[in-house]
Structure 1
Amino acid sequence: MNEVSGEMSSTIQTFYHNTGLINYAYDRLDSKKWNIIAKGIGELRRFRVEEASHKIAKFINFPRPEVQRETQLYMVNLFLFEGLSFLDELTTTLSEWAQIQLLETLQKFENQEICDIRPWLKSTNDSVVLFALKLAQIYNQFEVKDTLMELLSHTNKDVRLNTINVLTHLYGIEAKDILKANFNTLSIEEQISFFGLLEKLVMPDDEPFIEEHLFHKNFEIQLLALNILKEINIDKYMGFSKLSNKEKSKAMIKSENTI
């Protein structure tokens, strides 16, 4: 099944059913051993046995990650985006490796119509939210911007950070004012990501904010602020470049005291 396609694949599937070999895979699902269960799910996935989905779905939150992964791959390989419905029930952590495998599977198939990912962006399972953010970016889900805006105040820093990056990708200019207003409460990583957003979506009225952070304590933010200033006001940029190191040091101390 791994090496054939088309008519030959259909012939082997029919053979698999008619010989009763499929029953051995079903029997494995009733095993007390996790590795036997995983093997059974993997076999049913390779032979594309769709009618096994109701039996396999019960393993979504199985204690062993190996069984979880086989279940997830079965669902997505056979049902694509519809198969991601398991995310509605997932209470365990969707590992980074599992997310990569699922995305690779989905991207093998072109011209797919992605489902509504908003429920997953609102999930109480942070790993599901992070996976949904990847989907939003890869599949350019501009229609979920309002939901993304809500995630800017999420309790999980990784979620907030990834949300800023997705909004940058989706030209989420609506996020600028919110992030500006709360800039000093953001982590350094979030502040850097926000300046990455500004670099892409900067407007002339952002200039005072940019100037305010030319002497930020973080060197990466300083460089980003300088690059942005150069884009929107070359004269001010040149004036800053002419400052002596002593003047820059004084300005930096003043800026840190202000913050």
Structure 2
Amino acid sequence: MGHWLYRNIVEPGKLPLLLALASFVLTFVITRVIVRMIRAGKGPFGNVKAGGLHIHHVVPGVVLIVIGGFGAVASSRYGFGACLCAVVFGIGAGLVLDEFALILHLDDVYWTEEGRQSVEVVVVTAALVGLVLSGFAPFGVNDLSDQELQDRGGVILTVVVNFLFALLALSKGKVRMAVFGVIVPFVALIGAIRLARPGSPWSRRLYRRRPRARARSWLRAYRHDRRWSGPRRKFQDWIGGKPDDELARSLPEHR
């Protein structure tokens, strides 16, 4: 394990990236735990306010991103300074993306249906950074054997092919399958060969004069959403907390 870590993480200069990813995920988890405790009225935590203004944690997150980002640019990939800046950047990114939905909608939608987008963005970000960190790319690793070069080359070719299928799946409106298809083999292929979702660029362009294809597209999308929306919501609720209903959002602020 130590040898693999050195050859694939430390030697190529990926240790700061590993620290940034770890601090990013840990910050998101801790933040969600604290916010859910505040929501439930438990623990010693409370909302941060200044002069009656609710300070969302995206604010310190932006500050930490700026500090960590500029610090990382000013330092090399190696050394304590780079690692420290990576941790600071990861913490800031975790705070910012935890409130991604608030930035997107310019509204406090943290505990609404729209707030689920923050959880999705965090999961996708962690997955993509994990792909970069995986060490399959033979860049920065010295003295690779022919077998190691062949193995890594095969993985890179697979990722490239998956990426092309992911672009096709994206044009069909299958965003999640497109994103995770870059990481998980055959996911993007499934999204690429299946019918496009209604309203997607592929559907608007190629199903315009094909009423049967449009009807099948609408029916499949309806059946898919009815089958998977429940489990997806439960998974998102398990990670980020269940959104408020309309009545709860009409009451005074509780977060």
TM-score of the superposed pair, with normalisation by structure 2: 0.30
Which structure is higher in RCO with an 8 Å CA cutoff and minimum separation 6? 2
The TM-score, its normalising length taken from structure 1, stands at 0.30
